[in-house]
Chains A and B, each alone.
Chain A
Amino acid sequence: MLLILTVLAAALAAVVASRGRLHPLAGGAVGLAAASATTWTFAGCALGGDVTGDNTGVQRVLAVAAVVTVAAGVARTVAALRAGGGPAGEAMLTELRSGRFRTGAWLPWLLLAPTLAILAVFLYYPSFQTFALSTKLARMGAPRSADVCLGNFAELLVPSPYLVAGLPPAAVAVVAGLALWRSRTTPGTASHTAAAALSPLGPIATVVALYFVFAPGRTGYRGVYVATLGISFGIVALSMTAGLGLAYLVARRFRGASVYRTLLIWPYAVSPPVAGILFFMMFDPTAGVMAHLAGVVGLDFPSYRTDGVLAQAAIVLAASWKWVGHNILFYVAALQTVPREIVEAAAIDGAGAWRRFVRIVVPTIAPVTFFLLVTNLTYAFFDVYGTIDYLTRGGPSGRTTVAIYEIIRVGVGTGDLGRGAAQSVILFIAVIGLTVWQFRRSEGRITYGGGA
């Protein structure tokens, strides 16, 4: 216990010291308060010594990690806010313009009140409850529940506390080391180029580390992790590239363009379950239209129902098909803002169509691309349940069981509220992590607003 507290204090001190900017004390104090709160509500049982169940070592590691992360995050945010935005990377918080109207302090709050009230009641409160449930063994309709501390989480991970404690920090070390190297070298030099070239290693290290942290085996969570990763990124990549390509085609002003636009957007009006049913019928290995068409040209249409990779591909295809209209919608709008004169000037300078597209069009619509990246990720992570349920039911052998599918199967389908909540928390953290990473990455590249 004492050891853990020492580690905690050291971590906090490190975070606070690393800020090295204004108001480290304020940041540290709030961080400490938040860390204590987390310890008390969420990780208290694991740190207090009355851990129950298996994998007590893993549970302790998780508890420490949770507290340290929260402390670090809060300290950083507070310090960043104090410093007026900046290096913490909350691009959104950067103040571009100060407010104008000064009619009473109550007016802005009045304008915000409905939104904040709804968010508080229907988002913050349920998510707080989900956090609380995740440390319990609870069933829908059961007369009592039992505290299992972080057992629901530990269950999803490898039973070795050393791996759980060691791998993620190692990945973080790789990321931080690369960033440090890059920041210490001068742009233009060979070593800077090398550092820049190596920067994808960070995310890769994180992905690999997580792979080894999740429990292996047919009943382990590793399969869900792999399926989620493959299917989600497949959907984002396919639906965004297809969306941009199609939008580039029909954003032009020519007779009939609006008809084509409407027809291309039509699948967006279809709901995810219906998309699942449609592709289920089309891809049916024996009675489906694709099998028949393949037969006509003398090909053998493979069955996605018993092949894991094909099943994942089928999900990606169906889910992207349903969503591509959404991306076309936003890209068509964004393409209207590409300044003609610049494109024409480039054309006169002899830039080929592809070069004009890559050099001028793509950078101009980068803010929309970023916005779409966030919404597409959200879609790929959360809204594919219906499609999967009708297309593969998570099979074969769990190869298309993505995180949201497993959450709903466990939490809603079998009423295992605690385990469902624990998985929800993991997904929640993953999406927040990804989004923050995206925000930070795109920070220097995209300028928002500011009527220049």
Chain B
Amino acid sequence: MTDNLTISVGRRGPFTGRTWHLHVLSVVCVLLIGFPLLYAALVATQTNAEVFAFRLTPGSSFGEHFHKVWVERGIGRAMWNSLVMSTLVTVAKTVLSMAAGLAFVYFRFRGRSLVFLGVLVTLMMPTEVMILALFRVTSDLGMTDSLWALVVPFAASATSVFLFRQHFMSLPAELPEAAQLDGAGPFQFCFRILLPLSWNTIGALAVVSFTYAWNMYLWPVLVIKDASGQVVQQSLSALRATDQAISYGPLMLGALLASVPPLLVFLALQKPFMSGMAISDK
């Protein structure tokens, strides 16, 4: 059991033995999990008739479908709208939650626990359940059919506040004292010390927030009806009916295209992520 010659003292995480069996296992898992998407990629090239006739070879309609999805239906525009919305939600959520986490951990004020409980309880109040009441509010505020309706209600999140609070509490207790001794105020402390120590949490939250916003469907359907403001999930839904009956090819192509941006966000943020999650740092 001592053939682990690559041990580097103090490093963490599961380690490697010989890797060929890991590759075999990983490939099998990837094929299993990826099967539906591979199938989707196949369908994206086929006509309905080819789908029903069950051909495992790529069909001839990829170009036609791409033209339909990208040019005729302009999914690019919807993806752009979604990108703007998801980025805004992600950034707003991160900033607001970090500020709230800061307040909960590094300040003492009256009613702190009660306020935290108040925030935490919203973890269990998803918008889906009160979607109509929520609509009324946004409509009263005159935000319907605008980007604001897609971003503002989701800019605060109990999950993120909770995560940041746990993260800050796991950091060494001496940090703020040291900072104060150096004469740093709360804001300098936040930007100079906390931020560099928080990239892993920020990365995790960004991936989750972005994906959540990107995949929102019910809410955009309610608040956005203007064609130019539609988000990607709405255009996917409309792709189901390019013909009178459901046409699978363009739909699958659209779905695959739509799954790329969240994946890119993950790829971009993978590094901080792999340095571990603070929630479990003891």
Contact = CB atoms under 8 A, between A and B. Distances in A.
B50 to A, nearest CB: 11
A97 B136 contact: no
A281 interface: yes
Contacts of B116: 92-93
A336 B12 contact: yes
A266 B34 contact: yes
B233 interface: yes
Interface stretch (A112-120, A166-174, A218-226): A112-120
A409 interface: no
Contact of B263 (A265, A271, A336, A375): A265
A130 B130 contact: yes
Contact of B134 (A97, A126, A330, A371): A126
A304 B118 CA distance: 43
A382 interface: yes
Contact of B36 (A249, A279, A371): A279
Interface stretch (A58-66, A229-237, A391-399, A443-451): A443-451
Contacts of A330: 204, 277
Contact of B274 (A260, A333, A361, A412): A333
Nearest to B240: A277
A337 B11 CA distance: 9
A321 interface: yes
Contacts of B180: 100-101
Contact of A447 (B16, B185, B270, B282): B282
Contacts of A250: 26
B248 to A, nearest CB: 6
B193 interface: no
Contact of B107 (A108, A122, A287): A108
Contact of B2 (A348, A450, A451): A348
Contact of A378 (B19, B113, B126, B189): B126
A151 to B, nearest CB: 19
A100 B176 contact: yes
B43 interface: yes
Contact of A260 (B1, B30, B251, B255): B30
Contacts of B166: 367, 448-449
Interface string A264-277: 11111111111101
Name the prevailing secondary structure of the B interface residues: helix
Interface residues on B, range: 35 or more
A340 B15 contact: yes
Contacts of B255: 270-271, 274, 277-278
Contact of A329 (B37, B121, B207): B207
Contact of A432 (B43, B124, B141, B262): B124
Interface residues on A, range: 35 or more
A310 to B, nearest CB: 18
B60 interface: no
Interface stretch (B62-70, B72-80, B95-103): B95-103
Interface stretch (A3-11, A188-196, A420-428): A420-428
Contacts of B25: 249
B43 A281 contact: yes
B170 interface: yes
B136 to A, nearest CB: 7
B241 interface: no
A163 interface: no
Interface string B128-171: 11111110111001000000000011011011011100100111
Contact of A347 (B1, B108, B189): B1
Contacts of A383: 128
Interface string A373-397: 0110010001101100000000000
Interface in A270-294: 270-275, 277-279, 281-282, 287, 289, 292
Nearest to B254: A274
B228 interface: no
B259 A335 contact: no
A182 interface: no
B195 interface: no
Given A122-B137, A269-B211, 17 more contacts: A90-B117, A100-B106, A111-B102, A116-B115, A118-B152, A127-B133, A269-B262, A270-B215, A334-B277, A334-B279, A365-B280, A408-B128, A412-B131, A448-B169, A448-B279, A449-B169, A449-B170
18 contacts: A103-B185, A108-B112, A115-B161, A122-B134, A133-B133, A253-B13, A269-B211, A270-B37, A272-B217, A282-B39, A287-B52, A343-B15, A344-B15, A364-B280, A420-B132, A431-B124, A449-B170, A451-B170
Sorted nearest first, the 7 A-B pairs with minimum C-beta distance are A449-B169, A99-B108, A126-B133, A269-B262, A118-B156, A108-B107, A336-B276
Interface of A: 77, 81, 85, 90, 92-93, 95-103, 105, 107-109, 111-112, 114-116, 118-119, 121-127, 129-130, 133, 140, 246, 248-258, 260-275, 277-279, 281-282, 287, 289, 292, 321, 324, 326, 329-330, 332-341, 343-344, 347-348, 350, 361, 364-368, 371, 374-375, 378, 382-383, 385-386, 404, 407-408, 411-412, 417, 420-421, 424, 427-428, 431-432, 435, 447-452
Interface of B: 1-2, 4, 7, 9-16, 19, 22-23, 25-27, 29-30, 33-34, 36-37, 39-40, 43, 51-52, 54, 96-97, 99-100, 102-110, 112-134, 136-138, 141, 152-153, 155-156, 158-159, 161-163, 166, 169-173, 176-177, 180, 185-186, 189, 200, 204, 207-208, 211, 214-215, 217-218, 233, 236-237, 240, 248, 251-252, 255, 258-263, 266-267, 270, 273-277, 279-282
